[in-house]
């Protein structure tokens, strides 16, 4: 069975380098043929909304909208249920391709055979 990555990003504009690292690793893994599931939690939850990634800026880093588009095109993006609720984000607000799921789905993903979980 091929290895896959589940990447949980907890940082957003509050910790831009950590945030960008998570998206960069996700996009690089997908470009290398590694299956990726990216979980948006905490302050990264806002990137599940249209236009929010465009507001993010980090010098000498790949643009966040490009990284997010790469993950949406070849991987899976999930917004944490509780994080969405705390921010009054509903499924109708999301970028196409983003789903909302909670801890049971996360646990199921990270405990799968051949899965490596990373948290940023």
Structure confidence at residue 1 as a pLDDT band (50, 70, 90): low
Q: What is the pLDDT of residues 28-71, one digit of tens each?
A: 999 999 999 999 999 999 999 999 999 999 999 999 999 999 99
Q: What is the pLDDT of residues 69-111, one digit of tens each?
A: 999 999 999 999 999 999 999 999 999 999 999 999 999 999 9
pLDDT score of 8 more than 60: yes
pLDDT of residue 46: 98
Q: CB 34: neighbour CB atoms within 10 A?
A: 17
What is the full DSSP assignment across 20-85?
A: HHHHHHHHHHHHTT--EEEEE-GGGGGGGSTTTGGG---TTS--HHHHHHHHHHHSEEEEEHHHHH
pLDDT of residue 2: 76
Pairing label, strands 115-119, 4-9: parallel
Q: CB 1: neighbour CB atoms within 10 A?
A: 7
Phi-psi region of 89 (alpha: psi -120 to 50; beta: other; left: phi over 0): beta
pLDDT of residue 51: 97
């Amino acid at each position: 069975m091929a290895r896959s990555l589940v990447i949980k990003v907890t940082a957003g504009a509050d910790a831009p380098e950590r945030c960008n690292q998570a998206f960069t690793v996700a996009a690089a893994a997908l470009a290398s043929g590694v299956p990726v599931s990216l979980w948006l939690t905490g302050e990264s939850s806002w990137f599940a909304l249209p236009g929010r990634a465009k507001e993010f800026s980090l010098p000498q880093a790949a643009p966040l909208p490009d990284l997010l588009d790469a993950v949406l095109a070849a991987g899976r993006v999930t917004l944490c249920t509780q994080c969405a609720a705390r921010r009054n984000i509903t499924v109708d607000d999301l970028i196409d391709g983003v789903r909302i799921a909670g801890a049971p789905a996360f646990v199921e993903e990270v405990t799968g055979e051949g899965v490596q979980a990373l948290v940023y």
